[in-house]
């Protein structure tokens, strides 16, 4: 979630329940739940992860509805909170990198994200295994041929508006659009179809750092229940879906995922950011005395 993104959103009166107190499981209870979650993941055949703003708070990006969340502070008249670093420089959290390792190991089959911060892609989740339900602040799409353009800068607009750039396919050349939804925009069909399909296939849907309040996205994990799947929720605040969950863990997402990965004997490789740049040399020939 980008603070610039928040300021571009149209006004909405009802943004859900805000500022609920955070709950922390006692250490012994938390450890028991981590072990149970690790066992569920180890035995799973089709693990799907559903993520919200809570997985990016340790990256320096505020959440929405927590005690210091964007909507919470705005409702209190305190304005938009400051990010701890420029948005495009936000590094993946331990949780982001752990999910990449689980995907590489063949355990994690699909990620569904409500975040627009592009950190899942930046961390290494394959695009074909990711549904970004609310769009991506760093991505443009061609409405004509469907080509996607991932940028190293935030796109200027939201609400799927035209941007200043065009499709680079010489057979197309259509004007590009941003991919980030405003409040009244419908979820993209391609992303929603993939998310629905994988939730129906899932035997475990792991919900990480999401309040599960925004419809229709919040109802996707429930699709797993019809096939006997289990829902696990890791969040510091209660959610409307807690009663449907097999397991509810009240703990820091990074701490929980670190414990799970240790229990699974999966190492979390350090994230290395690679920035590419293009240098063009112009050589000038001078005619004269040497």
76-112 tens-digit pLDDT: 555 555 655 566 778 899 999 999 999 999 999 999 9
Average pLDDT over residues 24-45: 98
Work out whether strand 230-234 and strand 204-208 pair parallel, antiparallel, or are unpaired: parallel
The pLDDT, as a whole number, for residue 73 is 45
**How many of the other CB atoms lie within 10 Å of CB of 171?**
7
- Under the banding of pLDDT at 50, 70 and 90, the label for residue 177 is very high
Helix, strand, coil distribution of the chain in percent, nearest 5: 35, 15, 55
E strands, 12-101, are 47-51
Q: How far apart are CA 225 and CA 235, in angstroms?
A: 20
CATH architecture designation of domain 137-186: Single Sheet (2.20)
27-43 vs 253-263: helix crossing angle, rounded to 10: 60
Average pLDDT over residues 189-214: 96
The class that CATH gives domain 24-84+91-134+187-273 is: alpha beta
Catalytic hit among 134, 198, 278, 285? 134
pLDDT above 90 covers a percentage of the chain that reads 64
Task: State yes or no: pLDDT of 17 exceeds 70.
Answer: no
Average pLDDT over residues 132-159: 93
Give the tokens for residue 141.
Answer: 């799409």
* Residue boundaries of the structural domains of the chain: 24-84+91-134+187-273, 137-186
Q: Are 19 and 66 in contact (CB under 8 A)?
A: yes
Has 120 been annotated as catalytic?
no
Model pTM score: 0.86
Work out whether strand 148-150 and strand 139-141 pair parallel, antiparallel, or are unpaired: antiparallel
Angstrom CA distances, 256 to 21, 95, 118, 151, stand at 19, 9, 22, 32
Work out whether strand 130-132 and strand 139-141 pair parallel, antiparallel, or are unpaired: unpaired
**What is the CA angle 176-197-235, rounded to 5?**
90
pLDDT above 70 covers a percentage of the chain that reads 77
Q: What is the mean pLDDT of the chain?
A: 85
**How many of the other CB atoms lie within 10 Å of CB of 264?**
18
Give the pLDDT confidence of 251-261 residue by residue, as tens digits: 999 999 999 99
């Amino acid at each position: 979630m980008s603070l610039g993104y928040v300021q571009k959103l149209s006004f909405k009166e009802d943004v859900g329940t805000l500022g609920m107190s955070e709950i922390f499981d006692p250490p012994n209870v938390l450890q028991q739940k981590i072990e149970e979650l690790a066992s569920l993941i180890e035995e799973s055949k089709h693990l799907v992860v559903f993520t919200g703003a809570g997985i990016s708070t340790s990256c320096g990006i505020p959440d929405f509805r927590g005690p210091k969340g964007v909507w919470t502070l705005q409702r209190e008249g305190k304005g938009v909170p400051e990010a701890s670093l420029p948005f495009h420089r936000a590094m993946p959290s331990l949780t982001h990198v752990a999910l990449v390792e689980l995907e590489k190991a063949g355990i994690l089959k699909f990620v569904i994200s409500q975040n627009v911060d592009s950190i899942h892609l930046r961390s290494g989740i394959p695009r074909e295994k990711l549904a970004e339900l609310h769009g991506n602040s760093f991505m443009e799409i061609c409405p004509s041929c469907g080509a996607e353009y991932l940028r190293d800068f935030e796109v200027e607009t939201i609400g799927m508006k035209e941007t200043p750039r065009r499709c680079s396919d010489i057979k197309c050349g259509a004007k590009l659009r941003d991919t980030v939804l405003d409040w009244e925009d419908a979820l993209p069909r391609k992303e929603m179809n993939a998310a629905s399909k994988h939730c129906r296939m899932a035997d475990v849907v792991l919900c990480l750092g999401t309040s599960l309040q925004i419809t229709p996205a919040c109802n996707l994990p429930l699709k797993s229940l019809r096939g006997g799947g289990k829902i696990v929720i890791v969040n510091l605040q209660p959610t409307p879906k807690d009663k449907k969950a097999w397991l509810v863990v009240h703990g820091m997402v990074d701490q929980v995922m670190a414990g799970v990965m240790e229990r699974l004997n999966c190492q979390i490789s350090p994230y290395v950011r690679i920035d590419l740049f293009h240098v063009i040399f112009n050589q000038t020939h001078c005619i004269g005395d040497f």
